[in-house]
Amino acid sequence: MNLLHNLFNVKKSTIDGCCELIPNVFEDNRGSFVKVFHDDAFANIGLENKFVEEYYSKSFKGVIRGLHFQIPPEDHVKLVYCISGSVFDVVVDLRVGSPTFGQHDTFNLNADDANMIYIPTGMAHGFCSLTGSSTLVYKTSTTHDPACDSGILWDSVGIEWPEKVPILSNRDKSFSEFKSFKSPFSC
């Protein structure tokens, strides 16, 4: 039996290795049910299937978080999805030698569609909350390491953010611009 077919559809990103996973949403008179992860299904299509940490962020409308990543040796794969509200999600390719180096792709994640973004290592990730309150869940293949935690400036790669005057953390305001970033990632 094809586990992938039963769980979700895969929509490739313009960035190699990154993809949108669109799960089956089972609805009835009680509400809905969504399976977001299955070890064998991920392995079957070549996606990382060993996640060691999971956390979530809650953001108000107009908040931009990002563009974040962890550098080696604690770089990680991320699986992100929105369980309440809606977000404009962004992935930026930081892999030197990649045909899409420095390019980005955008996705609309929301609780109703239950869609997810699979983000390989060597990518920066960020999002903008589009609703009064949005909750984004992150599964990662390594644990958070403050010494390896990094980012690039949110407005330095040509992203058309839906919020022109966002709410940002001081940390996110202080990241270097992409043009000054010396990437430790390669293809």
Residue 80 near residue 119, CB atoms below 8 Å: yes
**Is the bond preceding 120 in cis, omega lying within 30 degrees of 0?**
no
Can you say how many angstroms the Cα of residue 70 is from the centroid of all Cα atoms in its chain? 13
DSSP β-ladder status, 123-129 and 8-12: unpaired
Residue-wise DSSP of 75-133: ---EEEEEEESEEEEEEEE--BT-TTTT-EEEEEEETTT--EEEE-TTEEEEEEE-SSE
Active site residues: 68, 138
Helix (H/G/I), strand (E/B), else coil: 168: coil
Specify the residue for token string 């978080």: 65
